[in-house]
């Protein structure tokens, strides 16, 4: 009997890999335990699209309708946006149900150790019935921030912690709010059932956080100093103990090996400020089945598949780190305070987008995904798109760029494209793209 691929953790990233691998015909065993606390998180429409595109169905039923979101940043308030609030417990239960329905072997258990020898991969896990060990053909590490990584090379941002305090009050209209303050920021959400999730994010090194026993009082006192927290605290009381969540940005610089891969927060975790965590977790997971398929079936393209995964994980991390930096920079009231100062210039000062001219376009051979595998193809690389652009509207761009670079003096773009015999509709898309680069 073939050994299965073993996925550790059944959150959005692990779940997306399981569904993708089953579509490619693999037998998959997923071992997961529920997260130890419930949290409410906010997601955008593109996360809903991403979950749907990945094949989740039951998980989608856990997502609420969009509700009002107020942001107060740099002293200015904005209520133009909405977000969808999700109970992570309900979302994760829906994901687990989807994985069962798709035919994965789902084991409710806690992974306690992973052994990776030259010819044997095994995972030991604990269930109510005791300890078990299974062997697999490949291991997908998707245990989120809890995934062990001390032995791997990592790049970390300023150490950050988010304190989540639960409050209960009367039924209310669902809403959320984000607010900056002198040494951090708050995100607050209220659901129709009157549950309130009040989350304060601080710099670990400079916030003078109290002992665990005093955390509840500390959170309540800080929240009382934030005017925008008042509607979330009105007629409500704190319940239970606050929960501390690490929210330091972390990039795992070694996210793939011959017989293992890390996805989601286990590969790279971003600052929750951007509200993009689930989106980025899904992004690194959706590409993983093609990488795994190549590592298992086409050893001659192993190095290429690894470069593909790591370069995309790195690019995602820096993209979201820079989005976070630019957002922190918009808050100028406390620019000298340690929390803000250490985040205004991290990870670097490279702009989110680099203005590019056509002269800087290069054609390079890079890894791309084709029909569930990683292959090498000629793509167009620009300073703003270092991973390359392969197709536009179904047309391969590398031959177009080479032809335009070699066109005769005075030859129009239209005649140059006609020589390439492109089909008519995509031809327009390609022409518009070239003209957008300033070419005539």
Residue 245 binds ligand FAD (CB under 6 A) = yes
By the rule CB under 6 A, 19 interacts with ligand FAD: no
- Which among 36-44, 151-159, 359-367, 393-401 is the span making contact with ligand FAD, rule CB under 6 A? 36-44
Please, which residues have CB within 8 angstroms of residue 3's CB and are 6 or more apart in sequence? 121, 135, 136, 137
User: Are the C-beta atoms of 248 and 160 separated by less than 8 Å?
Assistant: yes
Compute the distance between CA of residue 352 and CA of residue 319 in angstroms, rounded to an integer.
Answer: 7
Residue of 48, 281, 369, 417 that binds ligand FAD (CB under 6 A): 281
Scanning 6-14, 53-61, 205-213, 291-299 for contacts with ligand FAD by CB under 6 A, the matching segment is 6-14
Q: Is 50 in the site for ligand FAD (CB under 6 A)?
A: no
| DSSP category for residue 407 | P
User: What is the residue-wise DSSP string for 328-359?
Assistant: HHT--TTTTSHHHHHHHS-S-S--SS----GG
Residue 426 near residue 393 (C-beta atoms within 8 A):
yes
CB of residue 249 vs ligand FAD: minimum separation in angstroms? 10
Q: Whose structure tokens read 């209960």?
A: 168
How many angstroms separate the CA atoms of 358 and 142, rounded?
40
Q: Residue 178's closest CA among 237, 112, 232, 133?
A: 232
Give the containing element (helix H, strand E) for 164: strand 160-168
Stretch touching ligand FAD by CB under 6 A, among 233-241, 269-277, 296-304, 330-338:
269-277
121, two tokens: 């991969």
- Residue 171 in contact with residue 303, Cβ under 8 Å? no
Cα 29 to Cα 180: distance, rounded to the nearest angstrom: 43
Which span sits near ligand FAD by CB under 6 A: 48-56, 98-106, 260-268, 399-407? 260-268
175 or 400: whose CB is closer to ligand FAD? 175
Sign of dihedral through CA atoms 262, 265, 269, 270?
positive
| 275 binds ligand FAD per the rule CB under 6 A | yes
Residue 110, interface with ligand FAD (CB under 6 A)? Answer: yes
Using CB under 6 A as the binding rule, whether residue 13 contacts ligand FAD is answered as yes
CA nearest to 62, candidates 85, 33, 78, 81:
85
Residue 111 makes contact with ligand FAD by CB under 6 A: yes
Span of 48-56, 227-235, 274-282, 342-350 interacting with ligand FAD by CB under 6 A: 274-282
Site for ligand FAD in 173-202 (CB under 6 A): 199
35 binds ligand FAD (CB under 6 A): yes
Q: How many residues bind ligand FAD (CB under 6 A)?
A: 35
Q: Is 249 in the site for ligand FAD (CB under 6 A)?
A: no
Shortest spacing between CB 439 and ligand FAD, in angstroms = 39
∠ CA 92-50-13 to the nearest 5 degrees? 45
Restricting to residues 121-180, name those near ligand FAD by CB under 6 A: 142-144, 146, 162
Torsion sign (Cα): 317, 278, 148, 308: negative
| Of residues 138 and 361, the one with the C-beta less far from ligand FAD | 138
Contact residues toward ligand FAD (CB under 6 A) are: 9-14, 31-35, 41-43, 92, 110-111, 142-144, 146, 162, 199, 245, 247, 264-266, 272, 275-279, 281
């Amino acid at each position: 009997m073939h050994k299965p691929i073993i996925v550790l953790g059944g959150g959005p990233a692990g779940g997306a890999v399981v569904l993708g691998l089953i579509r490619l015909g693999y037998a998959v065993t997923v071992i997961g335990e529920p997260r130890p606390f419930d949290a409410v998180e906010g997601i955008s429409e593109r996360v809903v699209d991403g979950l749907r595109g990945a094949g989740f169905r039951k998980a989608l039923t856990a997502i609420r309708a969009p509700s009002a979101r107020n942001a107060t940043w740099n002293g200015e308030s904005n209520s133009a946006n909405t977000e969808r609030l999700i109970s992570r417990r309900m979302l994760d239960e829906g994901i687990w149900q989807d994985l069962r329905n798709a035919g994965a072997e789902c084991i409710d258990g806690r992974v306690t150790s992973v052994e990776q020898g030259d010819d044997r991969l095994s995972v030991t896990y604990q269930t109510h019935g005791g300890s078990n060990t299974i062997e697999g053909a490949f291991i997908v590490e998707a245990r989120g921030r809890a995934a062990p990584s001390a032995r791997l090379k990592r790049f970390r941002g300023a150490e950050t912690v988010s304190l989540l305090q639960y409050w209960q009050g009367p039924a209310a209209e669902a809403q959320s709010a984000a607010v900056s303050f002198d040494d951090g920021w708050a995100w607050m959400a209220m659901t129709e059932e009157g549950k309130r999730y009040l989350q304060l994010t601080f710099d670990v090194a400079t916030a003078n956080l109290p002992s665990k026993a005093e955390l509840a009082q500390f959170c309540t006192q800080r929240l009382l100093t934030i005017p925008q927290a008042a509607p979330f605290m009105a007629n409500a009381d704190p319940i239970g103990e606050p929960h501390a969540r690490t929210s330091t940005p972390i990039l795992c610089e070694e996210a793939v090996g011959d017989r293992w891969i890390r996805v989601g927060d286990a590969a790279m975790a971003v600052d929750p400020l951007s509200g993009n965590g689930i989106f980025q977790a899904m992004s690194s997971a959706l590409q993983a089945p093609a990488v795994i398929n190549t590592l298992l079936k086409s050893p001659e393209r192993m190095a290429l598949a690894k470069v593909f995964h790591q370069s995309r994980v790195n690019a995602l991390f820096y993209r979201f780190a820079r989005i976070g930096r630019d957002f922190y920079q918009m808050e100028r009231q406390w620019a000298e305070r340690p929390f803000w100062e250490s985040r205004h210039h991290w990870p670097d000062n490279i702009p989110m987008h680099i203005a590019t001219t056509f002269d800087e376009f290069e054609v390079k051979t890079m890894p791309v995904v084709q029909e569930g595998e990683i292959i090498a193809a000629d793509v167009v690389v620009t300073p703003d798109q270092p991973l390359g652009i392969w197709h536009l509207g179904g047309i391969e761009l590398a031959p177009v760029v080479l032809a335009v670079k070699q066109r005769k003096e005075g030859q129009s773009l239209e005649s140059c494209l006609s020589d390439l015999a492109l089909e008519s509709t995509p031809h327009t898309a390609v022409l518009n793209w070239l003209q957008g680069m300033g070419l005539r």
